[in-house]
Structures are given as C-alpha cells and as structure tokens.
Structure 1
Amino acid sequence: MPSPEDRTGPTRGVRQRGPIQMRGDRAERTTTDQRLLDTRGPTDWVHTDPWRVLRIQAEFVEGFGALADVPRAVTVFGSARTPHEHAEYTAGREIGAALAKAGYAVITGGGPGIMEAANQGACDAEGFSIGLGIELPFEQRLNDWVDLGINFRYFFARKTMFVKYSQAFVCLPGGFGTLDELFEALTLVQTHKITRFPIILVGTEFWGGLVEWIRTTVAAQAKISAADLELLHVTDSVEDVVAIIEKSQRGLDESALIGTEDAW
C-alpha cells in the first residue's frame, strides 16, 4: 500500500482548519489567524451558520449568567396590544403585584401591554421585575418597569430562559405569541420535560372556547388523554393564581424533602 506521501490526486493540498480537514480546491490558502488579523475583507461571514452558532451560544451564556441568581419566579404572558385603560391591563398589574408580594420575581417578554402591566405590578409591590425582549422587524423596546432586561435575537434562546427560570406560567388574553408559549409549555409538561409546573389561564370568557374545544374535540378524539386536561387551570381570580402556584411549590418542596430523606 502506498504511503500518503506517494499518493496523488485526492490527498494533494490537504490543510487543517482546527478540527476540520480540507483537500484540493477546497483547501484554504490562508490561516484563520491571518484572515482575522491581516485584512478586513467582506462582512458576509457574520451572516453564516457557523457564526450564528456563536451568537446563539453567546445568548445562552448571557441569559444564564444574568438570571442565575434570580429567586423563584413566575412568567406572565399576554397581548402587547392591550391598552392601559383596559380591564385586562389592570388584571395584569394586579397579578404582578400579588406575585411579588408572595415572594416571586415576575418575568415577562418585556414589551408593552400585558407584559408592561405585570412588570409595573411587580414594581408597585417593590418586587423583582424582569423583561426578556426579542428582536422584531418592527421597533419595540423594553418597557420602563423592567429592573433586569435582556434582549434576545433568537426565540428559542428566549423561550429556554422563560422555562428554566420560572415556576409557573400565567397567560392572560393574547395573540399568537401567547398561544405559542402556552402550547409549548403544555407540551413540555405533558412529556415530563418539566414537572410540577402549573399553567394558568386568566380570563374564563377569553379562554373558555379554546379549553372547550380541547375537551370536546382534541380529548374526545383521543388526541390527548383525559388527564392532560388537568394541566390547565382557568380562573378570573388573582387569589386563585397565587394559590395554585403556592400549592404546586409546596408539593415540589415536599418532594425534594422526601428525596433528601431517601438519600440518607
């Protein structure tokens, strides 16, 4: 068998780029350091997939670092289009305040409407108000009631932060964004990716039709199990919201205590 030095054709012009091997016409003639330091060159590279991976990594690192010391928290979702004078804005503000008084940080998407209401309510009660914003094609900034704010480029990085640092989701009336977060949370709980995670829908009139359709069509046709219906809590009461979350947390704390005793 000829050695690699004796072979011709495919082995000619082999170069290493870190862990990547390239040969022939695909082999780059300059080193990574040279391309970094020697010339400005075109800027297309910042839009390539390998570079996006680094941006994604940076978003996770930034988010994990900023939120690592956040106390127990609850995420509140709802429409960005809700005006200040609307009753749903008032409900969002009351929920934010009640959660803060119960010792929870309040996390929202950081935008206007219901998100602003919940952040404002947390500030009213001298609680911790967090906003996780997202880059959108239209201008939208973090609202003025956010104590700690992070802006994300990628929805999936932002969603991870909502789930990782929350003990519950509270969904007030909203549009596609609220529905997206609602059903993602339901899927994660249903598949046991997250456990003891209450999902609370505030507004029986708004959510009633959806819940009824899930019960009479989705569950009735065995697309989900009857037990899955219990993953949703529907209420109009701020007190119920806090009580449901507190009950879930007591169960989680008791499970953790039992696990500690078993370990001994």
Structure 2
Amino acid sequence: MTPNEDRKIREKFKQKTWNEIKTNDSWAIFKIMAEFVEGFERLGKIGPCVSIFGSARTKPEDASYILAENIAYELTQHGYGIVTGGGPGIMEAGNKGAARGKGISVGLNIELPFEQHDNPYIDSDKSLDFDYFFVRKVMFVKYSQGFVVMPGGFGTLDELFEAITLIQTKKIGKFPIILVGKKYWSGLFDWIKNTLVEEGKISPADLDLISIVDTAEEVLEVINTFYQKYSLSPNF
C-alpha cells in the first residue's frame, strides 16, 4: 500500500496517526475544560428540572411526540423545568411542551453528522452546544431531578443505562428513571428481569430503579411520590 492510499483509508474511517492522536489529545483538554466550565456556570442557575429523552426521528404527528409534549407541559405546571438534547423529535416535543407551559426550557445540543439540529422551543439563554458526549451526559445527570425516557434508539439507551449504572454503583444520588410506553419497553425490561436477574448479573432490587408508565399523570405521580417518600426537595 502506498502512503497516499494509506492516507485516503485513514481519512475515510477518520483514523489518525499516533502523533496526530497525541497532539489532538493535548489540545482537546482545553476544549473539554471549557465545555465543563460553561455547562456548570449556566446550568447551575436553572433550578429543578427533569430531562426528557427519546428518538430524534419521531415526527410531530407521532403519538410519542404528542405524549412527550404533554408530559413536559404538565411537569412545568408542577414547578419543573425541562432539559432535552436540544434536537428534533422527542427533544423538540419536550422543549415545546415546556415553552407552552411557560417553564424553563433547556437544550443541550451535540454536533452530529446527521439528525441533530437545535429546535426553536429552547429558551434563548439556555441553549448549550457540546462537542463531547461525555461532557453533555455529565450535565444531564448533574442537573436533572428525574429522567423521562420515551421510545428511542441507541442514544436513548446510552443515556438510560448510564444513569442506571451511576445510581446502582452509588456514584450519584438516586433519582426517578421513568420509561414511558409499556409496549415499547416491556421486551427490554423482561430481558433484564428474566436474564440479567436470573443469571445473577444484577440484583432483584436493581429493578426498583426503573418505573414503566404510559401517561403524563403517571410520570408526575412517580416523581412526586419519590421526593415525598425520601423527604427530599428537588435539586437538593
């Protein structure tokens, strides 16, 4: 293989030489620090919020979109702001519901080669852009009083299992994790219960970290019951 052919292959698959990796890693530290600092400074002022996750590919006429919008609206009527990934689909629905309810509407955007663009329902002073998924995920976990997980794909599952793992390992305090859509999530939950628990990969008590519901009223009930049960105030 000629040097030119090698270069073309590396460019196609976004591979870098070892020297390029070392150089980029050194400079990336400053970009990562900047994203953390901006996130901490701006999100530390937003107050109690609930994060809503789900597919960016969900259309406005989809039942999941409409439900996510209504969930966000109802949460704002109970004093919660809404945090989403800032993009289209379920994220747009969450921000739209927050805007309709005149509540706090936060968007944590990420640069992606497809699908992601910010939606028009984010508060103008509460839209943040991230290059790094791991920085963005820290912001979701650190400044959310609950996760509402609508039907979604790999990105949604990533956020879901990240939160469960952090709570299970006691790296963060417990907060409500709510899967919305029993039909959509039941297969995954059954596999967790019948395979992971049965084979001893997790404990039966770990199942209590997750609630599965179908309605906006049930989402509110889970969140409110959680904070009453543990005598906690959101954001504390």
1:100 partnered with 2:100: no
**1:188 and 1:194 in contact (8 A); partners too:** yes
Determine the C-alpha separation between the residues in 1 that align with 2:174 and 2:21.
44
Q: 2:107 aligns with which of 120, 128, 131?
A: 131
Question: What is residue 189 of structure 2 aligned with on the other side?
Answer: 211
Question: What is residue 165 of structure 2 aligned with on the other side?
Answer: 187
Q: 2:117 aligns with which of 119, 129, 141?
A: 141
Question: What is residue 77 of structure 1 aligned with on the other side?
Answer: 53
Q: TM-score, normalised by structure 2?
A: 0.86
Q: Which has the larger radius of gyration?
A: 1
1:116 partnered with 2:59: no
* RMSD of aligned Cα (Å): 1.9
Determine the C-alpha separation between the residues in 2 that align with 1:214 and 1:139.
29
1:62 partnered with 2:33: no
Determine the C-alpha separation between the residues in 1 that align with 2:182 and 2:232.
31
Determine the C-alpha separation between the residues in 2 that align with 1:216 and 1:139.
34
Question: What is residue 87 of structure 1 aligned with on the other side?
Answer: 63
Unaligned runs of 5+ in 2: 1-19
Determine the C-alpha separation between the residues in 2 that align with 1:61 and 1:185.
22
Percent identical residues: 52
**1:200 and 1:235 in contact (8 A); partners too:** yes
SS at match of 2:113: coil
Q: 1:241 aligns with which of 200, 219, 222?
A: 219
Question: What is residue 170 of structure 1 aligned with on the other side?
Answer: 148
Residues 45 and 193 of structure 1, relative CA distance in 2, 3 Å threshold? closer
Following superposition, the deviation at residue 101 of structure 1 comes to: 0.6
Mapping 1:218-257, distance limit 5 Å = 218-254=196-232
1:116-148 CA-to-partner distances (Å, cap 9, x unmatched) read 001100111111100001011236321000011
Determine the C-alpha separation between the residues in 1 that align with 2:38 and 2:233.
31
| 1:224 partner amino acid | I
**1:46 and 1:52 in contact (8 A); partners too:** no
Q: TM-score, normalised by structure 1?
A: 0.77
SS at match of 2:160: helix
Greater relative contact order: 1 or 2 (C-alpha under 8 angstroms, separation 6 or more)?
2
Determine the C-alpha separation between the residues in 1 that align with 2:97 and 2:212.
21
Unaligned runs of 5+ in 1: 1-43, 257-264
Following superposition, the deviation at residue 250 of structure 1 comes to: 2.4
1:146-166 CA-to-partner distances (Å, cap 9, x unmatched) read 011101000000000000000
